[in-house]
């Protein structure tokens, strides 16, 4: 055995630096994507803010223009003319209200004429207004050819619109053989309002053929 031969010692310390398996460009690539996304968000925020600012300016300009047009329109009207128009409008509304409550009693006489039999005649007529919210009272005195004519006249009044609760009384024979009688009845003002007959005349005129 040759003890003079030197044995080379094995070293466990690496001579070259340890190289990672991860690619060297990965970290730089991650930072670049994050920066790009942040830049896009920043640009979008700036663009959105600029759009809102521009739109706000447009709205203010449009509002100012509309206010200017409104002032010009107001200045073009004569205040005195507007006051006169309002006064006339109030008078028209008051007239409509009066007409809506006005009772056309001339229409009642037309109704009475149509509902009276040929062999019946009236000698007296009385009209009374108990109150504003109650029906109008009428009193009639007449002559009929016979009792049968009085009964038929009663049926006619009962079937006539506007005449309510007709009561026949005081039936007597006069010297000529005719039957005298009295009538008490009431009229509903709603059935004889002037506005109702005015609307009927309007409908007739509109439906009439032209010449």
Domain ranges of the chain: 26-76, 106-202
Residues 134 and 130: their CA atoms lie apart, in Å, by: 6
Residue 20, classed as helix, strand or coil, is: coil
CATH number of 106-202: 3.30.70.2830
157: exposed, middle or buried (Cβ count in 10 Å: 0-12, 13-18, 19+) = buried
Mean pLDDT, range 39-56, rounded to an integer: 84
Nearest CA-CA partner of 179 in 123, 137, 127: 123
pLDDT at 175: 85
Percent of the chain predicted with pLDDT > 90: 18
Residue with the bigger pLDDT between 145 and 33: it is: 145
Residue 171 in tokens? 């039936």
What six digits make up the tokens of 175? 């010297």
Res 3: pLDDT: 47
Position 52 pLDDT exceeds 90: no
Does residue 89 have a pLDDT over 50? Answer: yes
**CB contact set of 52 (below 8 Å; sequence gap of 6+):** none
Q: Which pLDDT tens digit goes with each residue over 138-188?
A: 899 999 999 999 999 999 999 988 888 999 999 999 888 899 999 999 887
């Amino acid at each position: 055995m040759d003890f003079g031969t030197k044995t080379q010692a094995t070293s466990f310390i690496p001579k070259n630096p340890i190289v990672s398996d991860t690619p060297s460009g990965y970290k730089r690539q991650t930072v670049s994507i994050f920066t790009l996304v942040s830049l896009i968000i920043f640009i979008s925020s700036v663009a959105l803010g600029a759009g809102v600012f521009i739109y706000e300016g447009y709205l203010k300009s449009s509002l100012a223009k509309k206010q200017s047009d409104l002032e010009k329109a107001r200045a073009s009207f004569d205040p005195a003319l507007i006051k006169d128009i309002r006064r006339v409008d109030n008078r028209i509304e008051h007239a409509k209200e009066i007409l809506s409550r006005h009772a056309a009693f001339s229409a009642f006489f037309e109704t009475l004429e149509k509902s009276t039999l040929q062999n019946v005649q009236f000698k007296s007529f009385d009209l009374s207004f108990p109150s504003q919210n109650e029906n109008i009272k009428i009193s009639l005195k007449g002559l009929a050819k016979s009792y049968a004519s009085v009964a038929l006249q009663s049926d006619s009044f009962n079937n006539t619109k506007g005449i309510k609760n007709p009561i026949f009384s005081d039936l007597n024979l006069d010297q000529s053989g005719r039957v005298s009688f009295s009538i008490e009845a009431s009229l509903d003002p709603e059935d004889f309002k002037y506005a109702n007959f005015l609307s009927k005349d309007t409908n007739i005129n509109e439906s009439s053929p032209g010449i």
